[in-house]
Amino acid sequence: MTEQDFADLVRDTKLSQTNRDAARLVLVENMKPIDAAAASGISKQRLNQILTVVRTAEERRNETALLEQVRRGGSASISDSVAVVEASYAVAVKTARDQYGDDTLIQTPNPNGRAVGEIVGRTDFHVVQAVGRSAVVIHDLAKLDRAPAVGRNVAIDYSKGMGVVSDRTKTQDRGGVTR
């Protein structure tokens, strides 16, 4: 990785300068992690955590670039298409964490269950539904009968892995009875 690539990558992370310098020793200078940790005065475990933050940022950047390429009509292989769907999921997770914090419980829908709450985010292939305090369900749009709009309060009932979206009004209780 070049110095410029590294600088671009860590710009939006919340890593301290000391932590960035430690990661740079490994990723730019190709120093062994144990040596970089010692040179930086941090533990090897902490350096591994820092490297995970940087590598996750790199994965997100690559996924976003691939998603943009496909959006602009660029060609994509099957593996690229899978990567685009995975990138969409990653963006959905980021949306949830940006809104509710890093400790947000990210759930997948129960294939024979129900999720009720407001749609708080959407990507090309997923919607994010708030289902409780710091809990969201990320739904695959391909498995829903229709795409619910952001801001709508909906119930999504699954049967055999496919979901049916029903609009809810604010006057409905959990039993679905209108007051």
Question: Can you list the domains of the chain with their CATH numbers?
Answer: 3-75 (1.10.10), 101-167 (2.40.50)
DSSP H helices in 72-173: 78-100
Nearest to 138 by CA among 174, 178, 85, 179: 85
List 158's β-bridge partners, or say none.
163
Q: Which two tokens stand for residue 16?
A: 């301290």
Q: For residues 128 and 118, is the Cβ–Cβ distance under 8 A?
A: no
Q: For residues 171 and 164, is the Cβ–Cβ distance under 8 A?
A: no
Predicted model pTM: 0.54
pLDDT above 80: residue 174: no
Nearest to 58 by CA among 88, 99, 87, 21: 87
Per-residue pLDDT tens for 47-77? Answer: 989 988 888 788 778 777 766 766 666 655 6
